[in-house]
Amino acid sequence: MSKKVKIGIIGAGTIGSVHADAYAKVADAEVVALCDILADRLKEKAARHHIAKTYATHQELLADAGIDAVSVCVPNCSHAPIAIDAFKAGKHVLLEKPMALNAKLGRDICKARDAAGKILQMGMVRRQSPEAEVIQQAIAKGRLGTIYQINIKQIRRRGIPGLGGWFTTKAQSGGGALIDIAVHSLDLAMWTTGLWNPTRVSAKTYSKFGSPMRDYHYVSMWAGPPKYNGKFDVDDYVAGMVRFGKQATMSFEVAWACNAEPENYIEILGDKGGIKLGAGEPVLMTEMDDYQADVKLIYDTKRDSFAAEMAKFVAAVQGKGEVPATGEQGVIVMSLLDAIYKSSEKDQEVAIGV
């Protein structure tokens, strides 16, 4: 396929707009349709992004034979059913993170993809940052040697999104800080290091700041304002340790809200070098000629990560490349999230059932 790929976006919320803006920067993509269950939002976003066709339901959009591929930008509980319907309708799918509510639904999505013979790309946009890419390349070249420890710190002081809406309602989101933001860091850690074999985890989730909702004081809010007649029944903090067989371990601490300085980094330790992702310009801490040495990695920092993500999806649909984040990898990430929640519930280390 070499013609422009005709895109439909399902979900006209904030992330749907991000996708529309990103596709506008991809020469071989054209967003031709938008769908949302909220009529006023659908009309406003279609006008903002100059999208001609609008649909009230995803089924109507998927019935449009002029659409080649879709971006699924809806609450987590709808990821699996809509992605599966899209494959049954013969569309390629870019699926926002997290993959689904659990790993079983992720596997169902992959089965539908295989039956349709279509493309599935997971929306793991942080992989597309130039910093992540250069670190992944350095690790692939052996610059860090054997990786044995990963440390993740992803702390927001007050960063609960959409308080009282679907983000904080477990039946719709599947969870809180873990499934919303930790999913990025856990995926990125496994992708950069190539450690896709998590085996066991010991973890604990907490819910300390979101309820009662009127006692939560904040400066700004993604997907806000609060809906005080809604729910907060999810985690806002999680910490734990993952084992990768006998090869490596990974500790993580992630919070939507806590009384600590904001931090966001992944530290990767190997027997030949160590490096941090997310802490400014990456510096490889290593040895050269019997001296300790800090090697600054030079790379092109000018990149729109979402546009890069969409460009790779479009190229894969056209048969010009591979997707950068696969469904199989999405299932591994979901299996890890499932195990973290299970470990917290049981108060013990558990096996990860990939």
- Report the distance separating Cα 110 and Cα 133, nearest Å: 26
What are the residues whose beta carbons fall under 8 Å from the beta carbon of 212, sequence distance 6 or more?
Answer: none
Q: Is 275 helix (H, G, I), strand (E, B) or coil?
A: strand
Residue 329 lies in a domain: no
Residue 145 lies in a domain: yes
Q: What is the pLDDT of residue 202?
A: 98
Determine the structural domain holding residue 136 and report its residue range. 127-303+334-351
Residue 199 lies in a domain: yes
Rounded to 5 degrees, φ, ψ at 134 are -70, -35
pLDDT digits (tens, 9 = 90+) for 20-43: 999 999 999 999 999 999 999 999
- Report the distance separating Cα 37 and Cα 59, nearest Å: 11
The answer to whether the CB of 56 falls within 8 A of the CB of 35 is yes
Same-domain status, 191 and 284? yes
Task: Quote the Cα angle for 18-9-65, to 5°.
Answer: 155
Same-domain status, 318 and 205? no
Q: What is the CATH number of the domain that holds 152?
A: 3.30.360.10
What pTM did the predictor assign?
A: 0.96
Residue 244 lies in a domain: yes
Same-domain status, 146 and 87? no
Rounded to 5 degrees, φ, ψ at 350 are -130, 160
Omega of the bond prior to 262 within 30 degrees of 0, cis? no
Same-domain status, 143 and 291? yes
Same-domain status, 15 and 119? yes
Same-domain status, 339 and 316? no
Same-domain status, 269 and 163? yes
Residue 131 lies in a domain: yes
Same-domain status, 67 and 143? no
| Radius of gyration from C-alpha coordinates of the chain | 20
Same-domain status, 148 and 63? no
Q: What is the pLDDT of residue 343?
A: 98
Same-domain status, 282 and 312? no
Domain count, the chain: 2
Average pLDDT for consecutive 10-residue bins of the chain (354 residues)?
A: 87 96 98 97 98 98 98 98 98 98 98 98 96 96 98 98 97 98 98 98 98 95 94 98 98 98 97 94 94 93 94 98 97 98 98 86
Q: What is the pLDDT of residue 242?
A: 98
Q: What is the pLDDT of residue 1?
A: 46
Same-domain status, 142 and 78? no
